[in-house]
Amino acid sequence: MTNTNKIVLDPHAHGEAVSQFLDFFSIKSGRPDADFLQNILKYYTRLPYENISKILKLHKNFISKAHIRLPDEVIEDHAEFHFGGTCFSLTFYLQSILSTQGFHCYAVMAHTLHRLNVHTALIVHLDHRKYLVDPGYLLTRPMEIHADKPRLYRTPHTGVELGFNSKDEYYHLYTFDRQQKKWRYRFQDKPVSSDEYLHHWQDSFYQGTMHGICLTRVKNDGMIYMHNDFLQITSIEGKQKRKVKENYYSVIEDIFGFAPEIVEQAQEAMTENMKLERQLGFYKEKKAANETD
């Protein structure tokens, strides 16, 4: 796999990786219904959102375009290094799992405040209804989308509001706690083709989100988020924030299970990647994106 043209994103082509996921978490196959979907998501959110694996993969394959991590690599890296992925790899792997297990689902692209087509999630059909499933935001439950009825949901770490705006014809997703409400992204209920998905996935390697270590994981009563040395613990009650001044690598190892030497390798790779971006003209924005806090 040496160039983009030879990469074919077929969610039905990763049956072995799907079986590995089910075996790893001891999940029995079932009917493609709401209970089975919720059970899959319960375990799937144990794969953290992290860009260390993405930074390292880009460093190894900066020019060849063979740097996307397909489902087999995602599950193998999770078993060995506790990795997960970013929204594209997590969404495509989940799409492969659901499609193979009989669910009807498709990927959609989402826009954040300053950037277009930088986030992705799934729409899942169940009982003549449509649900948003978003592994990139580690949302732990499917959320029904309805053009006429705004929806409110509660997860262990946040409230979620999902509604349709008839003026721009987009669904908008907000998160909220007892202190504030924050707009996150907008999307249309339009399936993205595999070619377009691949294009945006490849483009995501040269964004500001690759210019800093970003890690997120869900725990029973909240979410833990790290951006470089900034640590944030979020629950429905609010946020606790602090800088990790000492024991940076041991804190990451304790929370995420990533070996210190792996994190150091990623930091070195990130610096070299950024130099290559500028040398080869891939650098697209000066402002590093930090849109998850």
The enclosing domain of 201 has a CATH number of: 3.30.2140.20
User: Confidence class of residue 293 from pLDDT cuts 50, 70 and 90?
Assistant: very low
By residue range, what is the domain housing residue 180? 4-280
Distance from C-alpha of 219 to C-alpha of 237, rounded to nearest angstrom: 15
39 within domain boundaries: yes
291 within domain boundaries: no
> Residues in the chain, how many?
293
Closest CA to 162 of 127, 131, 137: 131
Total domains present in the chain: 1
Closest CA to 281 of 63, 64, 54, 113: 63
Q: CA 68 from chain center: how many Å? A: 13
Q: Which residue has the tokens 């483009």?
A: 203
Closest CA to 108 of 225, 11, 188: 188
251 within domain boundaries: yes
293 within domain boundaries: no
Q: Is the whole-model pTM more than 0.85?
A: yes
Q: What is the pLDDT of residue 236?
A: 76
Residue 6 confidence (pLDDT) above 80 = no
288 within domain boundaries: no
User: Confidence class of residue 283 from pLDDT cuts 50, 70 and 90?
Assistant: low
User: Confidence class of residue 10 from pLDDT cuts 50, 70 and 90?
Assistant: very high
Closest CA to 214 of 260, 263, 177: 263
197 within domain boundaries: yes
Q: What is the pLDDT of residue 2?
A: 37
- Top-confidence residue, 5 or 44: 44
User: Confidence class of residue 119 from pLDDT cuts 50, 70 and 90?
Assistant: very high
